[in-house]
Every structure is written in C-alpha cells, then in structure tokens.
C-alpha cells in the first residue's frame, strides 16, 4: 500500500481529504500563509485522512516553531524582499526523460515572471524528443552538451547562463511557484555562494519510493541553516542540500573551480557532484544557505533496481570525494571519515544480512557496500577515461 502526498495550508485545512482508497497513509506538507513549515505522516482510514482531527498530534517541530513565531509576533527573518532581486537563470539538466521534463517545464512556467531565463541542457541525448519539447516552449532555451555526465551539463549551464545567479532543478522535479524567489533572496549576502532548497517527494507510490523517503529522501528539514566553513566540516557537506534543488553564483567557478566532471550521474561514479561542489565552497570559507521555503517536488526512483543503483552511486561518490579531498586538498580528516563510515556501516550491513527486524533490506545494504568499495577505483577509471579523451576534469 502506498503513501499519498498532500500539500495543505494550515489556514484552510479541510476537515478531511477523501478518495485515498489505495493508500495506507499520507505524508502532509504543511504551510503557514503559503510558506512550507513542516510535515506530518497521517493514517488513512477507509480512504479518508482526518486532517483536523489528527494533524496536530503528528506535526513536527518545524510546524510548531512557525506557529509559535506567528502567535508571538516574531517575523520569519526573511531577507530583502524577493522582487527586488536581479533576474536569475534556471537550468534544467536532462537526458532522455521527456515525460519528466514536460512536467518540470510546466511547473517552471508557473513561476512568477521576474525576468528569469530558462535553460535546458540536453546531455548526450539518444533521442530527439527533448529538443522537440523545448521547441514548443518559446521562452525556454535549448543547449546540447555532448560530453556525458550531469556535472558536464551543469558546467555548460554555468557557461551559458545570461545571469549571475543560476538555479538548478532536476528534470525529474517540479518546483513550487515560490521556489526561485526563495532561493535567490539570499544572494544579497556576498558571502553566500550557494543556496539549496527543500525537496519533497512528488509521489510515494512504490516501495522503493517510500523506502527512499523514509531514509531521509532529498530533504534537509524545515529550518533554515547557514553552513559556513568556519563552523561546518566540509567533508560533511552533503548535509547542506542536494543538486536537485540548488542555486549558485556563476562566479563560484572562478573561486573554487567548476563542477568535477569525473563524478555524478552519467559517469562511472554515479553521484556526488553536488556534494563535492558544496565541500569546496565550505572549505574556501564561503557560505551555503539551506532555505526550506525554496520547495520542489521530486519523483524518486520507482524500481528497487534503480534505487539500489542510486544508493551504490552515492557511496561510490562519497569515497571518490574522500579520495580527491585527501590527495588534492590534503584533507587528512578524510581518513577519519572513512573510518567512521566503516564503524557505522559494518554493523548495519551485518544486521541487514541477518535480516534482523528494522534492518536495511539486504539488497540495498550490499549495493551500498559495493559502491563504497568500488568508489576510489571507479573514480580513477573515470579520471583516466576523461584524460584519454582530452576532456577537462
């Protein structure tokens, strides 16, 4: 049985929502005056979720804090009004996912018109449909990047962007109308190089999607966090957000270098290009703001096989990043992180293999271990392949 995903404003919360016969529960994103502030997981009884009756008991600390701020009369600490921000570029990097892209572009069309430019970077395509979709959207610019890899596409987007602030949205995600304004308002602080946002699941229809969301998904909670090299360990930069929902200054490449094209989707190292960028931003003493008001909805992988592959990629990327930071940036603490990983993950793996209650499914645990063990080697392989083709790394 699946979990329904609802988007509700506390101000006009209905008594109940009907028609959820195929669901056992509902993940509710709750807003206060339009702003996402928290979530709750509620039971569905006979196709109905009793919002007014059940919500408060299940609400999280994010909701309660926001409610109390309003009750007490303390503002939300928003930065300068968003409409005064200069325009931004929105970049969608895609590869052969026409259906997802259509939904993403439809959502982008609903953003308030602040003069933003929308750019689709078609990465190493094998079909022509992406181009056709974009040709039907006159306000969207099409760019084709033939070097494979999500990070190659991101670098291309940074080069092509006409504006200084570039917001990235994954092709399998759909942004909320307030997304872009919430991201860009933080760039009035010149020490902010990157702003990340809250990613909620678009649907939780399959066990793979539900598992991924229960394990944390792509969200980083409902409270704003300012990450800073002086306070936060760059090697834990994954806490700062995810590439599915982030905005960067174009000038970041001049300060910390471009995205590392040896990693992330489309390369032998299946992920981690975003985290590696966050790590370098923090290590150079700049700021990353996690802004939960910048909301988008992401379609998680529907199949177990794809989820295993994704998690394997995450672990490969983790160890690839530890290797580069150790070798290239003399981050000796990378060794400690590797040791910590072993200390934490080995018992989890044992529990999974013994099928103990509450343990990770064995298939996933093995995929993660495989990814971790292979990480440094696939990274070296990726490096050599690109070096041989004469591509920038």
Partner 1 sequence: MSAGPEISVVIPTCNRVQDLRRVLHALMQQDFDARAFEVVVVADGCTDGTAGFLQLFRPPFELRILTRDNGGPAEARNAGAEAARGRLLVFLDDDVEPSRALLTAHWQAHVTGGEKAVVGPYPPASVEQGLLQIKVSAWMRDLFESMANPGHRYSYQDLLTGNLSIRRSSFMRLGGFDPELRAHEDYEFGLRVLVAGMRIAFAPDAQAWHHETITLARVLNRKRDEGYADVAIARAHPALVRTLPFVSMGRQPSMVGRLLRRVAREHPESGDILAGWIAPVLQLMDRLRLRSRWATSLSRLQEYWYWRGVWEALGSVESLRNLMQSAKERVAADPDVEVDVDLARGIDRAALQLETGRVDGVRLHYSGRPIGRIPPERGMESLRGRHLRAALVGQMAAPLLAALASDGNFGSHIDERHLVQRIWTRSFWFGGPVPDWVWSEQARQWAEFDRDVGGH
72 binds partner 1 (CB under 8 A): yes
Of residues 310-329, which lie at the interface with partner 1 (CB under 8 A)?
Answer: 329
- Give the one residue of 11, 12, 21, 57 binding partner 1; rule: CB under 8 A: 57
- Between CA 353 and CA 359 the distance in angstroms is 9
Question: Could you tell me the two tokens for 82?
Answer: 């968003």
Whose Cβ is closer to partner 1: residue 96's or residue 233's? 233
Question: Could you tell me the two tokens for 128?
Answer: 């022509």
Whose Cβ is closer to partner 1: residue 132's or residue 214's? 214
Counting residues that bind partner 1 (by CB under 8 A) gives 55
Of residues 31-50, which lie at the interface with partner 1 (CB under 8 A)?
Answer: 39-43, 45
Of residues 233-262, which lie at the interface with partner 1 (CB under 8 A)?
Answer: 233, 236, 239-240
Backbone phi, psi, residue 56, to 5°: -60, -35
Whose Cβ is closer to partner 1: residue 39's or residue 151's? 39
220 binds partner 1 (CB under 8 A): yes
388 binds partner 1 (CB under 8 A): no
Residues 101 and 94 sit within 8 Å (Cβ to Cβ): yes
Of residues 168-197, which lie at the interface with partner 1 (CB under 8 A)?
Answer: 191
Give min distance, CB of 23 to partner 1, in A. Answer: 11
Neighbour-count burial of 302, counting CB atoms closer than 10 A to its CB (0-12 exposed, 13-18 middle, 19+ buried): middle
**Strand locations in the chain, DSSP E?**
2-9, 23-32, 35-43, 89-94, 117-123, 140-145, 165-169, 173-175, 192-201, 225-228, 245-249, 287-298
Of residues 5-34, which lie at the interface with partner 1 (CB under 8 A)?
Answer: 24-25
Residues 175 and 296 sit within 8 Å (Cβ to Cβ): yes
207 binds partner 1 (CB under 8 A): no
The piece of 148-156, 199-207, 282-290, 375-383 that touches partner 1 (CB under 8 A) is 282-290
Task: Give the helix/strand (H/E) hosting 377.
Answer: helix 362-388
Give min distance, CB of 61 to partner 1, in A. Answer: 4
Give min distance, CB of 109 to partner 1, in A. Answer: 31
Q: How far is CA 290 from CA 119, 189, 194, 196, 216, in A?
A: 23, 14, 9, 5, 16
| Among the listed residues 70, 76, 157, 82, the one whose alpha carbon sits nearest the alpha carbon of residue 121 | 157
Whose Cβ is closer to partner 1: residue 101's or residue 208's? 208
- Between CA 172 and CA 265 the distance in angstroms is 13
Planar angle of CA 52, 53, 54, nearest 5 degrees: 100
Of residues 329-368, which lie at the interface with partner 1 (CB under 8 A)?
Answer: 329-333
The site for partner 1 (CB under 8 A) is made up of 24-25, 39-43, 45, 52-53, 56-61, 64-65, 68-69, 71-75, 77, 191, 214, 216, 219-221, 223-225, 227-233, 236, 239-240, 283-287, 329-333
């Amino acid at each position: 049985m699946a979990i329904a995903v609802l988007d509700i404003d506390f101000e006009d919360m209905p008594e109940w929502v009907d028609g959820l016969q195929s669901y056992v529960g509902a993940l509710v994103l709750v807003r206060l005056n339009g702003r996402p502030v928290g979530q709750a997981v509620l039971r569905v009884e006979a196709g109905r979720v009793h919002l007014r009756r059940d919500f408060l008991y299940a609400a999280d600390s994010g909701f309660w804090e926001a409610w109390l701020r309003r009750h007490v009369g303390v503002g939300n600490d928003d930065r300068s009004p968003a409409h005064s921000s200069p325009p931004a570029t929105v970049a969608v990097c895609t590869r052969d996912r026409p259906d997802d892209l259509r939904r993403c572009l439809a959502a982008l069309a609903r953003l308030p018109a602040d003069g933003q430019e929308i750019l689709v970077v078609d990465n190493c395509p094998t079909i022509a449909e992406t181009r056709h979709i974009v040709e039907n959207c006159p306000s969207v610019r099409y760019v084709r990047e033939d070097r494979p890899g999500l990070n190659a596409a991101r670098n291309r987007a940074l080069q092509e962007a006409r504006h200084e602030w570039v917001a990235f949205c994954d092709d399998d995600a759909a942004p909320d109308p307030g997304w872009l304004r919430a991201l860009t308002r933080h760039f009035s602080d010149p020490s902010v190089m990157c702003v990340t946002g809250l990613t909620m699941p678009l649907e939780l229809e399959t066990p793979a999607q539900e598992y991924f969301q229960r394990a944390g998904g792509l969200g980083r909670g409902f409270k704003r966090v300012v990450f800073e090299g002086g306070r936060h360990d760059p090697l834990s930069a994954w806490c700062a957000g995810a590439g599915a929902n982030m905005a960067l200054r174009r000038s970041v490449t001049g300060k910390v270098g471009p995205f590392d094209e040896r990693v992330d989707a489309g390369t032998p190292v299946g992920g981690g290009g975003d985290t590696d960028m966050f790590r370098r931003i923090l290590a150079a003493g700049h700021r990353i703001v996690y802004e939960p008001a910048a909301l988008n909805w992401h379609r998680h992988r529907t199949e177990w096989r794809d989820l295993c592959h994704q998690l394997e990629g995450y672990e490969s990327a983790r160890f690839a990043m530890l290797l580069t930071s150790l070798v290239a940036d003399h981050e000796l603490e990378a060794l400690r992180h590797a040791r910590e990983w072993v200390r934490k993950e080995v018992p989890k793996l044992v529990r999974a293999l013994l099928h103990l209650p509450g343990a990770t499914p064995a298939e996933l645990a093995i995929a993660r271990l495989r990814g971790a063990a292979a990480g440094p080697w696939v990274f070296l392989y990726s490096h050599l392949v690109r070096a041989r083709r004469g591509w920038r790394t």
